[in-house]
Structure 1
């Protein structure tokens, strides 16, 4: 059975969370400080990119990459890129 996946990272005073719905094509939502700032209803296997902006002065854009494996039946992986540096986001356990 498929389950939801939740990824999270703290950056400065900001909280960045990515929720990936159940199934291999479930919805993806990107939250900054608890507010949804980007949403994708469906996605294909491969990499889905969402873009966001950290609410600071000046605004600080970043990207989220959710990778769904093509051939191997494993869960997604999530990274985020800020200032050209890509880092893994840790997965939180589902409630």
Structure 2
């Protein structure tokens, strides 16, 4: 059964939202400021990373790491060179 989970964080003045659709082939979609900027298909419940850019001058690369399972999906925004992540808050809609 497919189910959608939503996550959000504000980073450097930009809105980063992620939708993780679970099921046989999990799908991860990333939106920056409301525009789709990246997506990926996961294998099983393995973590998947999606690289996107924030529209700054110059563009700022960030990575979203989504873990579809097992259990409730989780998302991290990896925005620092050392790979330290910020937990993205789940959204109920």
Q: TM-score range by the shorter chain?
A: 0.7 to 0.9
Shift of the alpha carbon at 1:2? 4.5
Residue 79 (1) aligns with residue 72 (2): no
Shift of the alpha carbon at 1:22? 3.7
> What residue is the counterpart of 1:7 in the other structure?
7
User: 3-state DSSP class of the match of 1:61?
Assistant: strand
Shift of the alpha carbon at 1:24? 5.2
Q: Unaligned stretches of 5+ in structure 2? A: none
- Residue by residue over 1:5-59, the C-alpha shift from the partner in whole angstroms, topping out at 9 and shown as x without a partner, is 000001132100001114253321100000000012x311211000001110121
Q: Unaligned stretches of 5+ in structure 1? A: none
**Could you tell me how far apart the structure 2 residues matched to 1:29 and 1:2 are?**
15
Aligned length: 90
Shift of the alpha carbon at 1:87? 1.1
- Runs of 4+, deviation exceeding 3 Å: none
User: 3-state DSSP class of the match of 2:3?
Assistant: coil
**Could you tell me how far apart the structure 2 residues matched to 1:20 and 1:57 are?**
29
